[in-house]
Structure 1
Amino acid sequence: MNPLSDFPITRKWPARHPERLQLYSLPTPNGVKVSIMLEETGLPYEAHRVAFDSNDQFSPEFLSLSPNNKIPAILDPDGPGGRPLALFESGAILLYLADKTGRFAPQDAAARYETIQWLMWQVGGVGPMFGQLGFFHRFAGKDYEDKRPRDRYAAESRRLLGVLDQRLAGREWIMGGDYTIADIAVFPWVRNLVGFYGAGEIVGFDGFAHVRRALDAFAARPAVRKGLDVPGAD
């Protein structure tokens, strides 16, 4: 019996390999957090594209899995206790995959909570602020003569980059020598800020040498390069 057949989302996106973890996503900063994590861990998975241009995220099938209508979401046929598990929210998914595989999160309790602290820092600060700056800088800036909204988010994004730069001074990764879910969460957003959003100059990105060095190391990882393109076009 297909363990996923009871989930409405599989009617819109049928699982060709129902024994594998199912990923519903797009290659956005939040989306690629999970595809990169899956590539890093080597877990078998099947990716499904949730097309925003056709409002897939508002379909009843997608909302049955992700009621907040945001990507990414997963459906794991082999969840806790061997039962299927559905999850949305990229931070929660990263924690789940780290626990499932025993990788990219420290086993030591204190270090684990410190890692989660930086994961929450990305979820609550970096993502919202960088995303708002991207909206006002790349997309809507020309529609607003008043540049205070853009400048507000630019200033806060610059501050956050300063926090990250200070943290990385003398450290290879956010948690030191170990690459963790904190890095997997943070660096797709940094990459998007200076790449897709083109906001490097307005935040003074060249002045954050430690962030630039870590971003280059992140982008050079084979699993990152592959995960950044998941899911591809249908």
Structure 2
Amino acid sequence: MTARLQKLQTHLKMASQSDIHLYTAGTPNGIKVTILLEELGLQYKTTNIDISKNTQKEDWFLEINPNGRIPAMTDKFTDGSTIRLFESGSILQYLVDRYDSEHKVSYPHGSKEYYEVNNWLHWQMGGLGPMQGQANHFTRYAPEKIPYGVSRYQNETRRLYRVLDTALAKSESGFLVGDRVTIADISSWGWVSSAKWAGVDIDEFPNLKTWLYKLLERPGFEKGRHNPTKHTAFEMAKLSEEELDAKAEGARNWVQAGMKADAKK
């Protein structure tokens, strides 16, 4: 065996080895990563970050994600060193780029489908997540109900749901891109599953509702959504508005406390 071939084989072996450690919580952004990890069949360790206690603001966590948000991840890189990943979209891209060589949930780099997946990933990161997050805040966590804020962000979330619903109506496969589930679907699924928490009725969007429950049938989604904690969005969707507000009461206090702490830094 030539030295060049040995070097290549060593590189390939190192590239396939992982030491994935995910620091996360059971939020729409957090479960994106665990769902993808399960879909890829990868081994990984999970640390549950208690965001109600601001664990994500501790110095050790900030070394992994200086922005102090979940999810964050470390892995063994191809040269044996440690690589850090933060921002959920970045983590999803890293995982498929490095570990999905068979394109189970991705498309070859440079293909039209590859760029279409990127379109939807960036759309979710820049639109659906932030807008629905604000709908959550003004609907559930604000110390007082501000009708303008509630209406503004619920309506924008509905508009974005309509974009998804329209795209899925044109899909022959039932997925956002091509003939397979991808990170385009995975990135948005956790947000859509929590529609009721944002004050949005999923029944307004029949294609999106079909997509939501179709993906729930996949073992990777079912297992990944419950890591690191039980995913309760579908149970929450059965509650009345009064019951949901009561559920939000405890969280409202630590959300407000966290905002005050951030403002002082």
TM-score calculated relative to the size of structure 2: 0.74
The alpha carbon displacement at 1:54 in A equals 2.2
Q: What residue in structure 1 maps to residue 190 of structure 2?
A: 188
Identity rate, percent = 38
Quote the Cα distance in structure 2 between the aligned partners of 1:183 and 1:62: 28
Distance 1:198 1:117, change over 3 A: closer
Q: What residue in structure 2 maps to residue 65 of structure 1?
A: 64
**Bigger radius of gyration among the two:** 2
Q: What residue in structure 1 maps to residue 225 of structure 2?
A: 228
Q: What residue in structure 1 maps to residue 91 of structure 2?
A: 93
Provide, for residues 62-103 of structure 1, a one-character-per-residue CA deviation record: whole Å limited to 9, x for no partner: 0000000000011102x2334321110000000000011223
SS of 1:65 mapped into structure 2: coil
Quote the Cα distance in structure 1 between the aligned partners of 2:118 and 2:78: 21
Quote the Cα distance in structure 1 between the aligned partners of 2:34 and 2:67: 20
SS of 2:69 mapped into structure 1: coil
Give the aligned residue type for 1:143: E
TM-score calculated relative to the size of structure 1: 0.84
Quote the Cα distance in structure 1 between the aligned partners of 2:203 and 2:191: 16
Q: Which runs of 5+ in 1 are unaligned?
A: 1-18
Q: State the superposition RMSD in angstroms.
A: 1.8
Q: 1:212 aligns with which of 209, 212, 233?
A: 209
Quote the Cα distance in structure 1 between the aligned partners of 2:228 and 2:19: 15
Q: How many residues align?
A: 208
1:112-191 → structure 2 map (5 Å cutoff): 112-140=114-142, 143-144=144-145, 146-171=146-171, 172-191=174-193
After TM superposition, the structure 1 stretch with the greater mean CA deviation from structure 2, 64-73 or 213-222, is 213-222
SS of 1:86 mapped into structure 2: strand
**Contact 2:117 2:177 (C-alpha < 8 Å) held by counterparts:** yes
The alpha carbon displacement at 1:137 in A equals 1.4
Q: What residue in structure 1 maps to residue 108 of structure 2?
A: 107
**Contact 2:128 2:160 (C-alpha < 8 Å) held by counterparts:** yes
1:11-50 → structure 2 map (5 Å cutoff): 20-50=19-49
SS of 2:63 mapped into structure 1: helix
**Contact 2:62 2:68 (C-alpha < 8 Å) held by counterparts:** yes
The alpha carbon displacement at 1:192 in A equals 1.4
Distance 1:96 1:108, change over 3 A: closer
**Contact 1:134 1:193 (C-alpha < 8 Å) held by counterparts:** no
Q: Which runs of 5+ in 2 are unaligned?
A: 1-17, 231-265
